[in-house]
Amino acid sequence: MNFVAPKTVLFDLDGTLADTVPLIVATFKRTVSETLGWEPTLGQCKEWIGRSLTETFTALSPESADELTARYLEWNLANHHTYVRQFDGVAALIEALRASGRAFGVVTSKRHHSALVSLECVGLTGQIPLLATEEDTATHKPSPEPLLHALNRIDADADDAVYVGDAVVDMQAARAAGVRSIGVTWGAASADELRAVEPTAVVHDVGELTALLGL
């Protein structure tokens, strides 16, 4: 594959830089069960990964959206340190990016405080120069607005940027924003699910991603 290393690298957070998917699934299942009285399947828990809580719970149950969001955040934040783990190689990847002098950052649908806690859990506090979260834009992935907002903040060109993520909505947002996309298979979506939306590339481990980024 002829992939030219980008000047700007943007990452999703959940399932991409931090192993948060088990926490998300456990929180979603518990929240829906306690609030709505039915237990979602694993697939139903994972299909919302990458989207904002506001959008997720408004679509699921408009009349209970506020209660669902509050319960989700309370349990999720209280259990971060129990569930969230590092992905092997991510800390070294971020260190290499910092050393390279290239612009990079995180664009996530998480709320700002939750994103900071996740970064703390995986030892990345203070290591991410740009953090764009749910509060920063009116619309969220798969809308291009979060990525365009991040690019604008660092005065970067979409033509020379890439978005790295584990969810289908990540790939869709990248396409809509006019940036290249790399799907990673260690998070929420399978390789087949990612390839179905035609990302620029799909990688299976952090070493492969590091090489593709030219680090």
Catalytic residues: 12
Given CA atoms 168, 43, 12, 74 in this order, what sign does their dihedral have? positive
* Overall size of the chain counted in residues: 215
**β-bridge mates for residue 9, sequence order:** 104, 162
What is the distance between the alpha carbons of residues 120 and 2, in angstroms, rounded to a whole number? 35
Query: Would you call 59 exposed, middle or buried from its count of C-beta atoms within 10 A (0-12, 13-18, 19+)?
Result: exposed
* Structural element, H or E, at residue 183: strand 180-184
Rg (CA), the chain: 16
* Structural element, H or E, at residue 191: helix 191-195
